[in-house]
Amino acid sequence: MEKTCELMPTPIVVDLDDTLAKTDFFFESLLIFIKQNPLNLFRALVWLLRNDRAYMKTRIAQAVDIEIAKIPFNKPLVNWLKNKQQMGHQIILATATPRKYADGVANQLGFFNQVLATDEDFNLKGANKEKKLIELYGSRGFSYVGDSRADLLVWRSAESAVFVGDSRQLREDLKKVTRLEHEFPRACAKHVWFRAIRIHQWVKNLLLFVPLLTSHNLTDTGKLGLVTTAFFAFSLCASSVYILNDLFDLGDDRKHRSKHRRVFACGDMSIVRGGALFSMCLFLSLCLSFIVSFEFLLVICCYFFTTLLYSLYLKSRIMVDIIILAALFTLRIIAGAVSIEVELSFWLLAFSMFIFLSLAIMKRYIELLAIRNTGAGGHKKARGYYVSDIEILSSLGVTSGCLAVLIMAFYVNSPDVIKLYSQPEFLWLVCPLLLFWICRTWLKACRGSVDDDPVTFVIKDSVSWFCTVIVLLIFWLAI
């Protein structure tokens, strides 16, 4: 009788960073490590120089916890691996990520037969990973799932390859060393890049045009060109800070009811690409700022470092965070004035500070309202504020908005108006219109109808746009 030998299914070895998980554990842990204390960056460099990358990774992992349950995974790949396991394939996780995180992922997903990871004295990447897999399964004795150019060293010894990514060149290169069994394309659409820089938030930077309008230089093409250049410089700088803030806040954003959809939190863009995009935005911003003027460049630097300080530390300091937010809006108006070298009036600065203070308070109010609507008690906190603070915040916000209207009324009645406007009586119409808009917006916020960001609500709100157009028309009639 003939004996038949049934071949065992080929083991499938899968990478973790940017392959199975839509994040890179090393860079994510490094960001958290630096956020804990910026001086930790130098500690990491010392570990790297004194020992090697494996030692540095392990030491950082010992100091940093990542919430594995909130990590975005590549769901099509996860389902494919589960089906392969049901067909008899062994599924092995082999990653350069420290064992602490690799074991956490294995426990979370629950279908791995074995876990191979970086230890303190061994970095499981590239040639090291290839050598380990050949030792365990033999050359051409496994199928490998990867995403990066470093994986070519492993694919050359694999029986087949599963490719995760969007690089056509890498796909063609791996075909030269082994058989491409399957692929999971990773879309990199342009809209993802726009989402990363939050291009819709650029509307805030239209405030740079306010000094051009109030100084009656709107028809001056030279100054209009300077402000337009300043607008793009400021917008790119703001986008660079948004990217950096999103990278530092990955863990918190994944737990947020709406922020979990941001490109880095959900894994639509990798941390590495985010770092490259941050650098590009900041570089272009500084170049455009220098074209405008050296003074404007100083304002941009002030904005960048203030926003960075806010993102890392000040946004959890009660009332300090609100005042900084309002000041950053006012800084946009200052930047617009600096770009065209016009003097800012006391009235405009005072008005802007109070109106933006009202919107900043509204932002915190909305966050607390969302927590209260979940049934949380008064001692539940959000960025240093308790849910029980919600009433006082609403009072402060409405009062601040009304003070802005009062300052506008004082301005209309001041001698300065007569010098700038031939029909200043028209400006009185701005006061009731502004009062209507502030009260309506706060009423909407109290009803839970305003988004997480009041500015986003204003952009989408047709009544707000109507009020803006009417205000501009009134100023035009008053000139």
DSSP 212-226: HHHTT-TT-HHHHHH
Contacts of 477 (CB under 8 A, 6+ apart): 423, 426
Supply angle C-alpha 330, 334, 337, rounded to 5. Answer: 145
CA distance 346 to 341: 16
Q: Which helix (H) or strand (E) holds 13?
A: strand 12-14
Q: Which residue spans within 83-227 are E strands per DSSP?
A: 91-98, 114-118, 143-146, 160-165, 179-185
- Domain coordinates of the chain in residue numbers? 12-186, 191-410
Sequence-separated (6 or more) residues with CB below 8 Å from residue 201:
238, 239, 242, 455
CA torsion sign for 285, 290, 292, 294 is: positive
The domain defined by 191-410 carries CATH number 1.25.40: no
Question: What's the sign of the alpha-carbon dihedral 46, 48, 54, 56?
Answer: positive
Superfamily for domain range 12-186: HAD superfamily/HAD-like (3.40.50.1000)
For the stretch 358-390, what's the b/e string if a residue is b when 16 or more beta carbons lie within 10 angstroms of its beta carbon?
A: bbbbbbbbbbbbbbbeeeeeeeeebeebbbebb
Which residue has tokens 């009036």? Answer: 345
Domains 12-186 and 191-410 agree in fold: no
Residue identified by tokens 């399964």 is 137
How far is 217 from 209, CA to CA, in rounded Å? 10
What is the pairing mode between strands 91-98 and 160-165?
A: unpaired
Per-residue pLDDT tens listing for the chain (479 residues): 344 344 678 999 999 999 999 999 999 999 999 988 888 989 888 888 876 788 889 999 999 999 999 999 999 999 999 999 999 999 999 999 999 999 999 999 999 999 999 988 888 888 999 999 999 999 999 999 999 898 999 999 999 999 998 888 998 999 999 999 999 987 666 678 888 998 888 988 999 999 988 888 878 889 999 999 999 999 999 999 999 999 988 888 898 777 888 899 988 888 999 999 999 999 999 999 999 999 999 999 999 999 988 887 888 788 898 999 999 999 999 999 999 988 888 888 899 999 999 999 998 898 888 888 876 555 566 667 888 888 999 999 999 999 999 999 998 888 878 877 888 888 899 999 999 999 999 999 998 888 777 878 888 888 999 998 998 899 888 88
Is residue 367 within 8 Å of 254, Cβ to Cβ? no
Sign of the CA dihedral 62, 63, 69, 71?
Answer: negative
Rounded to whole angstroms, how far apart are CA atoms 236 and 283? 9
